[in-house]
Chains A and B, each alone.
Chain A
């Protein structure tokens, strides 16, 4: 299994500010996925982060709002820019297991509240 460290675990943010979430994996992975879970909703894919190339964003998500970095095969960051209360969500990074078939692992999540 993969061990994923994600931080911050929780934060309260002021409207208009930006916050960067970090995701560190204990093994090298080609793909890292970033999800958002708004209150009472399901998980929605924001983007797929590949090492050495631009992230691939899903419909409804743009790089200016959610810039992603992927400097190496064990680390990625997601920034939530110019936050509004609608950005209050859980943000989760996710990676496929290296030797577990299709099993996909999640970090513990970053709970963001925008006030």
Chain B
């Protein structure tokens, strides 16, 4: 089955700097890669996703890149702000009818 590795487990950046979180997956059949943000006491919230027919996707300060050959995808947050502090999870799945497999999470701290 699918296995998703996520690095780093913790990340501290200065406000205004960029943050990058990387994930690798094992199943070449996986074709959907969402990223979730989880704030303390709340459920994970989808912040961006990418499908395997696309190499990069941007949404304001957030971008995700996908390298299918290497089987890795990354989350990029630019101009970080204190409200970006949270735990971020990457995930992968083959289709909407198969469950997501999650990485172990990255705790991002943005220092003002």
Contact = CB atoms under 8 A, between A and B. Distances in A.
Real binding pair: yes
Interface of A: 30-31, 33, 41-45, 48, 90, 92, 94, 96-97, 100-104, 106-109
A101 B100 CA distance: 14
A43 B4 CA distance: 12
Q: How large is the interface on B (under 10, 10 to 19, 20 to 34, 35 or more residues)?
A: 20 to 34
Contacts of A94: 99-100
| Chain B interface main SS type | loop
A80 B93 CA distance: 26
Interface of B: 31-32, 34, 43-44, 46, 49, 51, 89, 93, 95-97, 99-105
Contacts of B101: 45
A90 B43 contact: yes
Contact of A102 (B31, B89, B105): B31
A44 B3 CA distance: 12
Contacts of A107: 43
Contact of A103 (B34, B44, B89, B97): B34
B44 A43 contact: yes
B91 to A, nearest CB: 8
Contact of B96 (A48, A104, A106, A108): A104
A35 B105 CA distance: 15
